[in-house]
């Protein structure tokens, strides 16, 4: 738990830590980072892992009743002032281990901890707990992830669906850009579909389709990058937690785009098809006709 009491008043913080303490009493282990705890909240903990700036350990061990073990350790260090009566041990601990105190005393609390009996006890405990007991085996799982590949794909697809549904601005910008681009190209190639007497007309029609593919593709690629950049941080965290692998995530990211791209292409196709003036037949619209046009069935001499 990362600072569960931050932003709470004394009563609310006490309620939260009482719930945490009740959870610990059921046999579970809870790790918390606490910011400026009161005396009661600080003494609700059993063990303390204290580090100085830079991540070096300066105390790892039990607190004891009324923080007696913590106080005894630091008061045994040379030059450290004694704690005042009824003073908050958490506040006193931070004051006596500050960087300014280290400079004034000419000591390094990290080095003092590494030379202490407490450090040796912790190392011995780590070595003892790292050695498996006779007759026991290491935990082994047949698969890295708890769910099947298909379940991971469906979960990622549903997550991406909710993410896109809650981001309407991303979809709206794409559709607005598509409509504007369709009107621009429809105006540039107005009534081009009815002018098929020359081969240049065919090239112009093909050029309009190529330009549409180019512009829409570039626009979609650039607009999706901020979305992917935000999702990437979430993906790193959830993949490290063993929720799913990279392939189901990619599956969901690609499949969720298909309906949006399909509707986008339909909007563009209908607008441009009508403005350019292509034939309104099923065979011509979907490209299923096998009949020859005046341009495709030219004689060898014309070719």
For the chain, the domain total comes to: 2
**Residue 141 counted as domain residue:** no
**Residue 193 counted as domain residue:** yes
Query: Both 192 and 238 in a single domain?
Result: yes
pLDDT at 241 > cutoff 70: yes
pLDDT band at 279; cut points 50, 70, 90 = low
**Residue 144 counted as domain residue:** no
Position 286 scores a pLDDT of 60
Domain ranges, residue 235: 149-286
Buried b (16+ CB within 10 A) or exposed e, 64-87: eeebebbbebbeebeebeebeeee
pLDDT band at 57; cut points 50, 70, 90 = very high
User: In the structure encoding, which two tokens stand for residue 218, read together?
Assistant: 């570039």
Position 196 scores a pLDDT of 65
pLDDT at 27 > cutoff 60: yes
SS3 assignment, position 279: coil
Query: Both 64 and 165 in a single domain?
Result: no
Structural domain ending residue among the three candidates 72, 98, 130: 130
**Residue 65 counted as domain residue:** yes
pLDDT at 300 > cutoff 70: no
Position 193 scores a pLDDT of 65
Average pLDDT over residues 96-112: 89
Query: Both 103 and 209 in a single domain?
Result: no
Query: Both 171 and 216 in a single domain?
Result: yes
Position 301 scores a pLDDT of 36
Query: Both 126 and 176 in a single domain?
Result: no
Position 195 scores a pLDDT of 66
Position 69 scores a pLDDT of 92
Query: Both 178 and 236 in a single domain?
Result: yes
Position 285 scores a pLDDT of 56
Query: Both 154 and 275 in a single domain?
Result: yes
User: What is d(CA 297, CA 196) in angstroms, rounded to the nearest whole number?
Assistant: 12
Position 8 scores a pLDDT of 86
User: What is d(CA 159, CA 153) in angstroms, rounded to the nearest whole number?
Assistant: 10
């Amino acid at each position: 738990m990362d600072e569960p009491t931050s932003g709470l008043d004394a009563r609310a913080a006490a309620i939260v830590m009482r719930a945490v303490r009740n959870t610990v009493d059921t046999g579970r282990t809870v790790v918390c980072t606490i910011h400026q705890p009161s005396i009661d909240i600080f003494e609700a903990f059993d063990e303390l892992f204290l580090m100085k700036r830079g991540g070096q350990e300066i105390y790892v061990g039990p607190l004891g009743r009324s923080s007696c073990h913590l106080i005894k350790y630091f008061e045994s260090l040379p030059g450290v002032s004694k704690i005042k009566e009824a003073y908050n041990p958490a506040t006193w601990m931070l004051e006596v281990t500050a960087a300014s105190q280290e400079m004034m005393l000419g000591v390094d609390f990290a080095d003092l901890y590494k030379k202490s009996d407490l450090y040796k006890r912790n190392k011995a405990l780590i070595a003892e707990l790292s050695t498996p007991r006779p007759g026991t085996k290491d935990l082994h799982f047949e698969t890295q992830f708890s769910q099947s590949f298909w379940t991971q794909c469906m979960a990622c697809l549903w997550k991406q669906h909710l993410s896109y549904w809650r981001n309407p601005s991303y979809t709206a910008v794409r559709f607005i850009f598509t409509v504007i681009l369709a009107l621009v190209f429809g105006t540039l190639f107005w009534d081009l579909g009815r002018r098929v007497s020359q081969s240049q007309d065919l090239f112009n029609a093909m050029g309009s389709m190529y330009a549409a593919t180019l512009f829409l593709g570039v626009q979609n690629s650039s607009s999706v990058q901020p979305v992917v950049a935000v999702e990437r941080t979430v993906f790193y965290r959830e993949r490290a937690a063993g929720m799913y692998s990279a392939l189901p995530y990619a599956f969901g990211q690609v499949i969720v785009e298909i309906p949006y791209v399909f509707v986008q292409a339909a909007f563009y196709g209908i607008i441009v098809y009508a403005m350019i003036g292509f034939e309104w037949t099923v065979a011509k619209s979907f490209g299923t006709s096998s009949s020859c046009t005046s341009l495709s069935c030219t004689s060898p001499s014309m070719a």
